[in-house]
Structure 1
Amino acid sequence: MDIGKKVLFAVIFIFALLTCTLAFSSQSILLSSFQDLEKEDTLKNVEWVQNAVETQYDYLDHIARDWGYWDDTYEFVQTLDPEYIDSNLGNESMLDLEVNIFLFVNASGDIVYSKYVNLNTGEAVPLPGGVEEMIKDGPFLAESENDFVRGVVLFDEMPVLLASRSILRSDHEGPVEGTLILGRCLDDEFVGSIEDVTRSSLLVSRVDREMTSDFHAVFPETSDKVVILPSGEDTISAYFVLDGVDGKPVVMIRQDLSRDLYAHGQKILYYLYFLLLATGIVMGMGSKILLDSLFISRLGEIDDFVDRVRKEKDLSKRLKIKGEDELYRLSAGINGMLDDISLAGKEIKTRDTEKRTILDSLNEMLIFLDTDFRVVWANKAALRHMGVKLDDALGFRQQEATGISGRVFRALELEETLSGRTKSGEFASPDGKLWFIQAIPVKDEAGKIIGILETCLDITERKKAEKFLHEKELAETASRTKSEFLANMSHELRTPLNSIIGFSDLLIEQLFGELNEKQLRYVNNISKNGKHLLSLINDLLDFSKIEAGKMELNYEEFSLQETLAEIKSLMSPIASEKEIEINIDVDPKIPEIRADRNKFIQVMENLLSNAIKFSPRKGTIEVNGALKGNMVWIGVRDEGIGIEKEGRERLFKPFSQIDSFAAKKYQGTGLGLVLVKKIVQLHGGHVWFESEAGKGSTFGFSIPLKTGKK
């Protein structure tokens, strides 16, 4: 799949993920907000109903107080004057007052007069049974001037709101002659009046009898609060109780309200989904078109060029990309690499010729055979011994040869080398010379045997010297090639990396315009990872310089305490990400030391980076400095994972970490400790460490107090 399709899929995936995330977040936030508003509105409607009931209590209490503090009422309780009844307690009067029940109780607690009117029909009806016992046993009787009681009472027919006041003279002076009790039935008319006010539906249920399932389910929760439950897509219900005069629940009310707010929220959410989808499609298409025009098409040109060069093997071609951005510099880097590869190819050919010349100059006989034991190549010594030219020897089966070659084949049993075994031994030729013969299986990169290298050396004279010289030459050539390759690649990679880091830092500073949060996070990631990659490349370059013996030290005198404080400030941002504390304890008697200050800082940064990398969150790192004789000793101790005994032998090997698990979990090239050791040794010091698995590690080094020439 080409990069254009990958980018398209990536853009689609990113915008789909973003759209889904925004949709989910919006749904959660909006629906939650509308549910909260719906709950708040429902509680407000419940409060209206409760206020309506409380208003009725206040109304009953107001009438009871006016009538109870009336001289005519005070005398009526004593005389039961019929004129008082005719003029004040007629059915019409009670209808006008909207009061169902009047009870006059004397000071002895006996009901001296009672009246119960059905406000729907306007006719008087008998009081329910047990009312007299309820009055005597209940808390409604007033004993002092300021006594009053109100609450819900359950009659057989229905619940009733009652309010009572003491009967006094109009000057509010005693003695208390009795109690006036007024009642308002919680009937359909009363409930309907509240429904008209609150624009909701109410259902009243007594708690002393069998309740419906929904009332029964929420009753335990409504004793001290309002319970709100959706009863369908279009209706929400609120449950609450009315207490009796003893403070215990007597009546439970369900208020049903329309879910207009919730429906409005869902409609807004649907509009938002459509807006997010349309925005995602437009932004996705715009991003794809922009990426195609700015990057993908140009990357395609680079890919086509590289593929064409690879197929045609023509290193003279050069890539032409317009612009002044990173892709332009990448194309320039590719052209530079082609120049280097072309030059390296010429050097390799030259070296190959040199190698052949060297091999031909050896007195040792070298013969390379294929897997059928036919000669593929032989040096001049072997050809001279066999008495043939190279063209005549090619394809010749060695076991069919006469003289020493055939004897060597039979003596070594070369067939066994095809199993991967190296065969060697000594052989005496008829002329009395002693030869050391060896057959080595040659494998390709996949490990498959492709031939046999046969050597035959007259060990009576110069076999050992020529062999060691040859091996040394090969090793030096390989090391030089490796160092040059690392240096060239590090240089070629650092140039575009510095550009990437520089431009990303400019974007972070927002000198050319503001970035949104997501763009700023991505640019920060580019800068951070670019700097990390540049650090790895610098390590490789330093390592190649050390290996090539080209590392130079610039000596200067500096304060150990100030330098360690500077290093701590540089490493603190990294340590703070894991909330790690770095403590420095240096002997103040240590004078200024003479060393390469930059290399000293590099050593300390490597040791502190490892300590931070392997330390647990909120750990502590101790840095100690002491003077022992003419040596300065520096130690860095962490509380990290420690090092198993099996992994210690690989600590200072290049490109190696403790184990495969660590290599996967912790980033790094495996060069940090190697560079530390090499730099310290260049100063004339040595590196040491102490570690215990699971209990942390201490890495330290010592260098002379005064090194280098002044």
Structure 2
Amino acid sequence: MTSISRKTVIDSLDTAALVLDLKGRIVEVNPVAAQLLSLKEQQVCRKPISSILSWWREVEQCNGDCIELQKDVQPTVADKKYQYNVQITPIWDDSENLTGRLVLIRDITVERAAEGAQSLASVRAEFLAKVSHELRTPLTSILGISEMLDYGVYGPLSLEQKEALRLIADSSQHMVRLVNDLLEQTRLEHGALELDIAEFVIEDLINRLRVNTIQGARSKSLSLTFEIAPEVPVILRGDALRLYQILRNLVDNAIKYTEKGHVKVRVFRTGQEQSAGHDTEGYVEKYAFEVSDTGIGIPKDKQTLIYEPFLRVYLPNGSNGNGKMNGNGSSVSNGHVEGFGLGLSIVKQLVTLMDGEIDLVSESGQGSIFTVRLRLEPATEPIPMEKAP
């Protein structure tokens, strides 16, 4: 290969390339290498590469007498760490005489960081799944024995014993919810959740939500109300379990961060759009599920962070948890903010899984309004009562 044709080929490469002579001096630098390594060919030409790139000694230590090499190096340039893949190959002339070496350098910093993050996420998911399963067995036993005690299987209980039993049951139920959140997050991260589409009675779902959240609202003297707009069909088609999980997390979160006032749940229709995979006659309705509260609110600059798993945003002036702040600026300690910070992360992932959207309107000290919009089909035939969830 002639010098002119070689330079043309090297300059056309989309990988950083340098040509060295037999003494390790730089002969050619292509534009990609010039940009990646901040080099100017006229300034480095005929100079030893080891005097230009401080980290080249790491390559030479492995190179020895070899004329061919491939190695990953981790240089520090301007106080910033990089990872490069360096490949060295010999250059021969027409008489098969060694005339120099071609050095290809590829920046793999982002690639390695992504691999490390993926590996870490996999380890974390496996750990959470194992811990969650191990916790579930003793919790199930505790709840089972508590129910037997409550039913008087082991004899009558005094008032003090019944109160202690109630505390045991409440704490155990709370632990079960935390474990379920961990398992749900693990399944979502692994893409192991599938939707179960079926017809369900929307009023039954809302009544179940009311029964399971009313005690938490009463314990804080909050008003908890539910409203289903008249235009919402009695029976809808979708994944009722995942919808319930979304609403339960949102309502629990609203109650947790509201000290006075109310929490309100509204269901209403927002419009109609053509259903994917159908002909022009196929349409699905869009329904909104709105959860509003008069709680501590979420500052606008923190609202993009609240859907991150295991993240609690600590703010100045005494604030804590999911980016939320007390309206009066007082602190909310870790003892008062329960959970792992998974609720909103699970909500966001489930809404995405259901091909929906979630919006937030909130300001610090002004409460929050979460609105989930989902595409659901009205039922075509009446659902048998025994199949209603």
The alpha-carbon deviation at position 537 of structure 1 amounts to 0.9
Indicate whether 1:684 and 2:355 are aligned.
Answer: yes
1:443-462 aligned within 5 A: 457-458=86-87
**AA partner of residue 74 (structure 2):** Q
Decide whether the 8 Å contact of 2:82 with 2:109 is kept in 1.
no
Question: What do the CA deviations read for 1:512-558 (whole angstroms, capped 9, x no partner)?
Answer: 11222332222222211111111111101000001001012211111
The aligned residue for residue 327 of structure 2 is none
Residue number among 275, 287, 303 corresponding to 1:648 in the alignment: 303
Question: What do the CA deviations read for 1:673-693 (whole angstroms, capped 9, x no partner)?
Answer: 010111111111011111122
User: Higher helix proportion, which one?
Assistant: 1
Distance 1:588 1:488 in 2: 46
1:272-421 aligned within 5 A: 407=50, 411-412=54-55
Distance 1:621 1:686 in 2: 21
**AA partner of residue 132 (structure 2):** S
1:224-263 aligned within 5 A: none
Decide whether the 8 Å contact of 2:198 with 2:238 is kept in 1.
yes
In structure 2, the CA distance between the partners of 1:552 and 1:463, relative to structure 1 (3 Å rule), is farther
1:88-127 aligned within 5 A: none
Indicate whether 1:637 and 2:292 are aligned.
Answer: yes
Question: What do the CA deviations read for 1:432-464 (whole angstroms, capped 9, x no partner)?
Answer: 9999953369xxxxxxxxxx9986513978754
Decide whether the 8 Å contact of 2:297 with 2:362 is kept in 1.
yes
Decide whether the 8 Å contact of 1:647 with 1:659 is kept in 2.
no
The aligned residue for residue 197 of structure 1 is none
Output the TM-score relative to the length of structure 2.
0.63
**AA partner of residue 699 (structure 1):** F
Residue number among 543, 546, 551 corresponding to 2:188 in the alignment: 546
**AA partner of residue 705 (structure 1):** L
Residue number among 210, 225, 243 corresponding to 1:568 in the alignment: 210
In structure 2, the CA distance between the partners of 1:632 and 1:461, relative to structure 1 (3 Å rule), is farther
1:559-708 aligned within 5 A: 559-591=201-233, 592-617=235-260, 619-628=261-270, 629=272, 630-659=285-314, 661-663=319-321, 664=334, 665-706=336-377
The alpha-carbon deviation at position 632 of structure 1 amounts to 0.7
Root-mean-square deviation (CA), in Å? Answer: 3.7
Residue number among 177, 198, 215 corresponding to 1:556 in the alignment: 198
Decide whether the 8 Å contact of 2:83 with 2:109 is kept in 1.
no
Output the TM-score relative to the length of structure 1.
0.36
The alpha-carbon deviation at position 408 of structure 1 amounts to 8.3
Distance 1:434 1:541 in 2: 42
In structure 2, the CA distance between the partners of 1:486 and 1:411, relative to structure 1 (3 Å rule), is same
Decide whether the 8 Å contact of 1:648 with 1:658 is kept in 2.
no
Distance 1:502 1:621 in 2: 32
The aligned residue for residue 275 of structure 2 is none
**AA partner of residue 341 (structure 2):** G
Decide whether the 8 Å contact of 1:500 with 1:530 is kept in 2.
yes
Q: What secondary structure sits across from 2:74 in the alignment?
A: strand
1:149-228 aligned within 5 A: none
**AA partner of residue 633 (structure 1):** A
The aligned residue for residue 44 of structure 2 is none
Greater displacement, 496-505 / 471-480: 471-480
Distance 1:436 1:496 in 2: 48
Decide whether the 8 Å contact of 2:266 with 2:291 is kept in 1.
yes
Question: What do the CA deviations read for 1:640-680 (whole angstroms, capped 9, x no partner)?
Answer: 11112343232111111242642423212110001011111
In structure 2, the CA distance between the partners of 1:616 and 1:409, relative to structure 1 (3 Å rule), is same
Decide whether the 8 Å contact of 2:359 with 2:372 is kept in 1.
yes
Q: What secondary structure sits across from 2:237 in the alignment?
A: strand
In structure 2, the CA distance between the partners of 1:408 and 1:503, relative to structure 1 (3 Å rule), is farther
Question: What do the CA deviations read for 1:389-444 (whole angstroms, capped 9, x no partner)?
Answer: xxxxxxxxxxxxxxxxx948981499xxxxxxxxxxxxxxxx89999953369xxx
Decide whether the 8 Å contact of 2:82 with 2:107 is kept in 1.
no
Distance 1:599 1:532 in 2: 20
**AA partner of residue 256 (structure 2):** K
In structure 2, the CA distance between the partners of 1:412 and 1:696, relative to structure 1 (3 Å rule), is same
Decide whether the 8 Å contact of 1:508 with 1:520 is kept in 2.
yes
The alpha-carbon deviation at position 621 of structure 1 amounts to 1.8
**AA partner of residue 54 (structure 2):** A
The alpha-carbon deviation at position 497 of structure 1 amounts to 1.0
The alpha-carbon deviation at position 466 of structure 1 amounts to 6.8
The aligned residue for residue 165 of structure 2 is 523
The aligned residue for residue 344 of structure 1 is none
The alpha-carbon deviation at position 492 of structure 1 amounts to 0.9
The aligned residue for residue 118 of structure 2 is 476
Decide whether the 8 Å contact of 1:643 with 1:658 is kept in 2.
no
Decide whether the 8 Å contact of 2:50 with 2:56 is kept in 1.
no
In structure 2, the CA distance between the partners of 1:464 and 1:594, relative to structure 1 (3 Å rule), is farther
Residue number among 132, 145, 151 corresponding to 1:503 in the alignment: 145
Query: Relative CO higher for 1 or 2, CA cutoff 8 Å, sep ≥ 6?
Result: 2
Decide whether the 8 Å contact of 2:265 with 2:289 is kept in 1.
yes
Distance 2:191 2:107 in 1: 26
Q: What secondary structure sits across from 1:602 in the alignment?
A: helix
The aligned residue for residue 147 of structure 1 is none
In structure 2, the CA distance between the partners of 1:560 and 1:457, relative to structure 1 (3 Å rule), is same
In structure 2, the CA distance between the partners of 1:461 and 1:529, relative to structure 1 (3 Å rule), is farther
Greater gyration radius: 1
